[in-house]
Amino acid sequence: MQISSGIAKGYQLKMPIVPDLRPTKSMVRQAIFNILGDMKGMRVLDLYAGTGSLGIEALSRGAVWTDFVDISGEACRAIQHNLKHSRLKGKAKIYCESADVFMISSPPRQYEVALADPPYELDIDHTLTALTHKLKDESVVVYLHPKDKQFVNIADLDTRETRIYGNSGVTFLTKSHN
């Protein structure tokens, strides 16, 4: 798996050995970032980060900062390795804790883009609800889920669109004004 565009294009990501890790396919990552568009100046949150591929792709495409959150120590070490070797280490912080703990401990209203790629069996509706307090108005949440997941609008997040790629669904949500 490698970064598809930007200043770290072609960098081969280290894959951690983590049960239930489902790396986001290159085609899906490219589609996500083509839909998101310009990442310049964006602050990004990568929840359930795994390899860090989504957040590193955002940094490579011009995001100014990414916070990575994953509960697995092995995943956090892989993200650290990937940031160092892609020369993006100074633009990120890794939180080796659960997404729920991060939601409680981090400051509000700081992200323009949030990327959530949890294990498919994990229900994260409560995490998405808490996430709304971490987002600026008009922020975008990209939520990867099984293609057959029944999705209901959550809190201040409005569904913009859902795309299907193989067995994966990618839903784009926008935070409404408060």
Give the pLDDT confidence of 44-98 residue by residue, as tens digits: 999 999 999 999 999 999 999 999 999 999 999 999 999 998 998 899 999 999 9
149: in domain: yes
Q: Using an 8 Å Cβ cutoff, are 57 and 34 in contact? A: no
What is the percent of the chain with per-residue pLDDT over 70, rounded to a whole number?
A: 96
CA atoms within 13 A of residue 60's CA, in its CB half-sphere: 27
The confidence band for 122, taking pLDDT boundaries of 50, 70 and 90, is confident
12 domain-assigned: no
Domain presence at residue 17: no
Confidence of residue 3 (pLDDT cuts 50, 70, 90): confident
Token pair, residue 62, equals: 């011009």
**Which pair of structure tokens corresponds to residue 130?**
């808490």
167-174 mean pLDDT? 92
Give the up-direction half-sphere exposure of residue 83: CA atoms within 13 A in the CB hemisphere: 24
Q: What are phi and psi of 3, to 5 degrees?
A: -70, 135
Q: Is the pLDDT of residue 11 over 90?
A: no
What is the domain-level CATH number for residue 101? 3.40.50.150
* Each residue's pLDDT tens digit, 27-36: 888 999 999 9
Does residue 96 belong to any structural domain of this protein?
yes
Mean pLDDT, all residues of the chain: 89
* Angle between helix 53-60 and helix 73-85 axes, rounded to 10 deg: 20
pLDDT at 60: 94
Please give the pLDDT value at position 178. Answer: 59
Largest CA distance in the chain: 41
Please indicate, yes or no, if residue 31 is contained in any of the structural domains. Answer: yes
Provide the domain count of the chain.
1
Model confidence, pTM: 0.92
In a domain, 22, yes or no: no
- Residue 18 maps to a domain: no
- Over pLDDT 90: what percentage of the chain? 57
User: For residue 87, what are the domain limits?
Assistant: 27-175
